[in-house]
Amino acid sequence: MDWTLEVIRVPVSDLDRSIAFYSDQVGFDLDHHTVNDHMAFAQLTPPGSGCSIVIGSLPGEEQMEPGSLKGLQLVVPDAHAAREELLSRGVEAGDVAVMDERDGGTLFGFSDPDGNSWVVQQIKARAEHPLIPYSARPQLGEGI
């Protein structure tokens, strides 16, 4: 039996501000945004990821403190290019640090407006061998 991690709840204080940050600045795809009398939430997915984040409020959930999630990790094939992309979109990102010369040892970080923190890890092999092959990804406008 497969057990897949597909959604992570990220606690935020302002849904619209967080949607703008994660979609416009970080570049996540906005999968859906639901607002009704019982809930207001959005699901966003990093390009190429099989795991999404959910922000906002859902019924029956105890709210984690906004900004309390630390060290979520994203993987990219080129940390320097990823950092430059974030900086060009107005995201404050830390310097790239090489902790180990082997693949996987190059990292940098950034935080969302509430202080939830992210680590971006470089794994060069992802350029040639993405976890989700490009041919299996939905095309723009197809939905998920």
Residues 78 and 126 sit within 8 Å (Cβ to Cβ): no
Structure tokens at 67: 């900004």
pLDDT of 41: 96
Which amino acid is it at 57? Answer: S
The rounded Cα 89 to chain-centroid distance in angstroms is 15
> What parts of the chain have a pLDDT lower than 50?
140, 144
Q: What angle do CA 77, 79, 84 make, to 5 degrees?
A: 120
pLDDT of 2: 81
pTM recorded for the entire structure? 0.87
pLDDT of 144: 44
pLDDT of 134: 64
pLDDT of 102: 85
Residues 122 and 78 sit within 8 Å (Cβ to Cβ): yes
User: How far apart (Å, rounded) are the C-alpha atoms in residues 94 and 140?
Assistant: 31
Burial of 36 (0-12, 13-18, 19+ CB in 10 A): exposed
